[in-house]
Amino acid sequence: MALPACAAPVLWPPLQPEREAPARTTCPRRHSRVEAELAESRPGSVAASVSADPPRGVSRGFNSQPLTDEPLKASSSQAGAARAPLFALLPRGRRRRMHDLRRRWDLGSLCRALLTRGLAALGHSLKHVLGAIFSKIFGPLASVGNMDEKSNKLLLALVMLFLFAVIVLQYVCPGTECQLLRLQAFSSPMPDPYRSEDESSARFVPRYNFSRSDLLRKVDFDIKGDDLIVFLHIQKTGGTTFGRHLVRNIQLEQPCECRVGQKKCTCHRPGKRETWLFSRFSTGWSCGLHADWTELTSCVPAVVDGKRDAKLRPSRNFHYITILRDPVSRYLSEWRHVQRGATWKASLHVCDGRPPTSEELPSCYTGDDWSGCPLKEFMDCPYNLANNRQVRMLSDLTLVGCYNLSVMPVKQRNKVLLESAKSNLKHMAFFGLTEFQRKTQYLFEKTFNMNFISPFTQYNTTRASSVEINEEIQKRIEGLNFLDMELYSYAKDLFLQRYQFMRQKDHQDARRKRQEQRKFLKGRFLQTHFQSQGQVQSQNPSQNQSQNPNVNANQNVTQNLIQNLIQNLTQSSSQNSIQKENRENPKQNPGQEQSDSNTSNGTNDYIGSVEKWR
């Protein structure tokens, strides 16, 4: 008897069958039916053991069932009989891996079935809930048609609409963050870019009454002429950052030339070899390190014009600007700066033509610097210039005898210094606050009609904010700087009132411009309409004369109305410009506003009469 093709000799030893199992000499594919009959006839064989219980280490799957005596289908019985001895002959590790794979497949099928049934149950319950809601809402309409069918259709339409909206939103803006941003943009209005930087209320209650001239600060700065901006830099107020903005972040016809590695920049006027800015980063400390108001007012004209005679000097306008800061924060920041070794020994403190003597201005330390001093020692020094520094640097020291404390009593001296600082600050061309960077930028741009390239940044975390002090130390610092505290309160009130005034003025100007545009477009429309009517009438003169004998009179009236309308519109535009100038200078032309209002009312009456005639 010849062997089949699948029974060719192999190079490895044949597998040893288990006990009581017949030796395999034929191909299992060809003689599967014979093996199945033998397995069924011998209950103690391997096939019977496999069919009754899986081998050791292999658990039965979820969908597997024990073999019964009932006859199955021919194909399934043959396949099971063929697989059983083969599965038993596999090594134990491979049998375990195959069983794990089958078990995993059964778990996935079970999870999918559970998920499908759960979603079906959820949809069914949702359908009933929504149906009940719609039945409550559309109860009166239940008599018209089948309500269940209508509610199902409406529910389907809503679901489809929601899915379509989700798909469109995902297509337009993929990503969760972008979707949330778009939803927030639809739900909330656009924020004001000039909102309060310190997260306080945008509106405040004014404490001081200022006139319109005090609030309206608009300087006619001629950068091509002889005008000069003088920056009074007070220590630890953010003046270094603002000074860099002036030379590096401002739009000019001829920008400042700043070289790498150099602090000073060359800021020349267009077409001239002359500077328009007197500051640390343009001219350096020409009047001394951190020169105050008293030093700058006497030093700047001499430095800019050199040794010229006063009669030969050009008529310049010196526009002084400065930056102020909260006194407690500024004091702590200066203390930290002194701890790092700052001394400001190069400050001249020139007053009335001479520097102070050592008796008038003693030193608080004996060495080269005051580095490493504790806060208590810094506050205990009675000659510390950090106390009330902002008031001292903004006031006219010649009014109190400079640094000689014996000229007048201390109480009177403090009062004179405070009033002088307030007056100088109010009449300055511009001043800003460190705590309001964006508002400072806005007011500077409106005052000098000069725009910055990039917006200012508000830094809420500084060296002073990292210093933790208790309430007792804070009250003591406020007591040492009581003049600065009062000056800062005054400056903050004036600053915020100026900001609100300028914002309202911008809104009024924009509204006035829109009204002028509407008037102009209305006049153009009337002019075009009358001209088209005149052309139609001129094309059919005989027909018009036969129908209306007074057509010539109407044409003359139309032409006169057009001419008067154009004349009145030009007069109203010129009167609006004059009215704008008079609002800026109300004291020069007090009676002009009434005439302007009369003219505008006359123009409106005239336009109304034209509409009535039409």
| DSSP secondary structure string for all residues of 291-330 | --HHHHHHHHHHHHHTT--TTTS----EEEEEEE--HHHH
3-state secondary structure of 432: strand
Highest-scoring range by mean pLDDT, 441-445, 566-570, 585-589: 441-445
Q: Is residue 249 a contact partner of residue 454, using CB atoms and an 8 Å limit?
A: yes
Quick one: pLDDT at residue 574?
60
Is residue 217 over pLDDT 60?
A: yes
Average pLDDT of span 354-380: 93
Query: 274 falls in which pLDDT band (50, 70, 90)?
Result: very high
Where is pLDDT greater, at 162 or 282? 282
The residue annotated as part of the active site, out of 99, 290, 319, 349, is 290
Quick one: pLDDT at residue 532?
77
Kindly report, residue by residue over 130-153, the tens digit of the pLDDT: 777 767 665 654 554 455 566 667
Average pLDDT of span 575-582: 57
Query: 520 falls in which pLDDT band (50, 70, 90)?
Result: confident
Is residue 311 over pLDDT 50?
A: yes
- Dist. CA 557–CA 562, nearest whole Å: 9
Quick one: pLDDT at residue 580?
53
In this structure, of 123-132, 209-218, 503-512, the range with the lowest mean pLDDT score is 123-132
Helix axes 147-172, 92-137, angle to 10 degrees: 120
Kindly report, residue by residue over 525-558, the tens digit of the pLDDT: 887 877 777 776 666 655 545 455 554 555 555 5
Q: Is residue 275 a contact partner of residue 303, using CB atoms and an 8 Å limit?
A: no
- Dist. CA 138–CA 136, nearest whole Å: 6
Number of Cβ within 10 Å of residue 267's Cβ equals: 25
Quick one: pLDDT at residue 29?
45
Q: Is 128 a catalytic residue?
A: no
Q: Which sign does the torsion angle of CA 522, 523, 528, 533 carry?
A: positive
Quick one: pLDDT at residue 201?
47
* Tokens encoding 499: 């900001």
Burial class (CB in 10 A: 0-12, 13-18, 19+), 5: exposed
Closest CA to 181 of 193, 169, 192: 169
Quick one: pLDDT at residue 160?
80
* Tokens encoding 582: 């008079």
List, in sequence order, every beta strand (DSSP E) within 403-495. 430-433
Average pLDDT of span 327-345: 93
Is residue 593 over pLDDT 60?
A: no
Quick one: pLDDT at residue 436?
95
Domain coordinates in residue numbering, the chain: 196-327+425-512
Is residue 230 over pLDDT 70?
A: yes
List, in sequence order, every beta strand (DSSP E) within 393-479. 430-433
Query: 30 falls in which pLDDT band (50, 70, 90)?
Result: very low
Query: 93 falls in which pLDDT band (50, 70, 90)?
Result: confident
Quick one: pLDDT at residue 69?
41
Kindly report, residue by residue over 385-429, the tens digit of the pLDDT: 999 999 999 999 999 999 999 999 999 999 999 999 999 999 999
Number of Cβ within 10 Å of residue 541's Cβ equals: 11
Share the mean pLDDT of the chain. Answer: 75
Where is pLDDT greater, at 539 or 577? 539
